[in-house]
Structure 1
Amino acid sequence: MARFHPLRVTAVDRLTDDSVALTLAVPPELRAEYRHAPGQHLALRRTAEGAEIRRTYSICSPAPEPGGDGPRTLRVGVRLVEGGAFSTYALKAIDVGDELEVMTPAGRFTLEPAPGHYAAVVGGSGITPVLSIASTLLTREPGARFCLIRSDRTTASTMFLEEVADLKDRFPDRLHLVTVLSREEQQAGLPSGRLDEERLTDLLPALLPVGDVAGWFLCGPYGLVQGAERALRGLGVARTRIHQEIFHVDAGTAPAQTAVTPAHSTVTVRLDGRGGSWPVQDGETLLETVLRNRPDAPYACKGGVCGTCRAFLVTGEVRMDRNFALEPEETEAGYVLACQSHPATEQVELDFDR
Structure 2
Amino acid sequence: MATQTDRPAPAVRHGAFHMLRVAAVDQLTDDSVAVTFAVPPELRSTYRFLPGQHLALRRRAVDGSEIRRTYSICGPTLAPDGPETLRVGVRLVEGGEFSTFALKELAVGDTVEVMAPAGRFVLEPKPGHFVAVVGGSGITPVLSIASTLLAHEPLARFCLIRSDRTAASTMFLEEVADLKDRYPDRLQLVNVLSREEQQAGLPSGRLDEARLTELLPALLPVESVDGWFLCGPFGLVQSAERALRALAVPRSRVHQEIFHVDDAVSPAPVTVAAPAHSSVTATLDGRSGTWPVEDGETLLEAVLRNRGDAPYACKGGVCGTCRAFLVSGEVRMDRNFALEPEEVEAGFVLACQSHPVTEQVELDFDR
TM-score of the superposed pair, with normalisation by structure 1: 0.98
Q: Tell me, yes or no, if structure 1 residue 275 matches structure 2 residue 288.
A: yes
Q: Tell me, yes or no, if structure 1 residue 60 matches structure 2 residue 110.
A: no
SS of residue paired to 1:225: helix
> Within 5 Å, which residues of 2 pair with 1:66-215?
68-215=80-227
> Within 5 Å, which residues of 2 pair with 1:202-351?
202-257=214-269, 261-351=274-364
Relative distance call for 1:256 and 1:298 in structure 2 (3 A) is farther
Amino acid at match of 1:280: V
For 2:365, the equivalent position in structure 1 comes to 352
* 1:298-321 superposed Cα distances (whole Å, 9 cap, x missing partner): 001100001000000011100000
* 1:220-243 superposed Cα distances (whole Å, 9 cap, x missing partner): 000100110110111111000000
Amino acid at match of 1:107: G
For 1:56 and 1:246, locate their aligned partners in 2 and report how far apart those are by CA, in whole Å: 12
Q: Offset of 1:50 from its aligned partner?
A: 2.2
Tell me which stretches of 4 or more aligned residues in structure 1 moved more than 3 Å. Answer: 258-261
For 2:4, the equivalent position in structure 1 comes to none
Amino acid at match of 1:54: R
Which consecutive residues of structure 2, in runs of 5 or more, have no partner in the other structure?
1-12
> RCO greater where, 1 or 2, for CA within 8 Å and sep 6 or more?
2
Q: Tell me, yes or no, if structure 1 residue 17 matches structure 2 residue 66.
A: no
Output the aligned Cα RMSD.
Answer: 0.9
TM-score of the superposed pair, with normalisation by structure 2: 0.95
Q: Offset of 1:85 from its aligned partner?
A: 1.1
For 2:54, the equivalent position in structure 1 comes to 41
8 Å Cα contact 1:215-1:241 kept in structure 2: yes
* 1:130-153 superposed Cα distances (whole Å, 9 cap, x missing partner): 000000000111111100000000
For 2:275 and 2:267, locate their aligned partners in 1 and report how far apart those are by CA, in whole Å: 22
**How many equivalent pairs are there?**
352
Which consecutive residues of structure 1, in runs of 5 or more, have no partner in the other structure?
none
Q: Percent identity?
A: 80
Q: Offset of 1:255 from its aligned partner?
A: 3.7
SS of residue paired to 1:293: coil
For 2:258 and 2:217, locate their aligned partners in 1 and report how far apart those are by CA, in whole Å: 24
* 1:40-87 superposed Cα distances (whole Å, 9 cap, x missing partner): 00000011232111000000000134xx32100000000011111111
Q: Offset of 1:199 from its aligned partner?
A: 0.2
Amino acid at match of 1:96: V
Q: Offset of 1:117 from its aligned partner?
A: 0.6
Amino acid at match of 1:279: P
31, 45, 49: which is aligned to 2:44?
A: 31
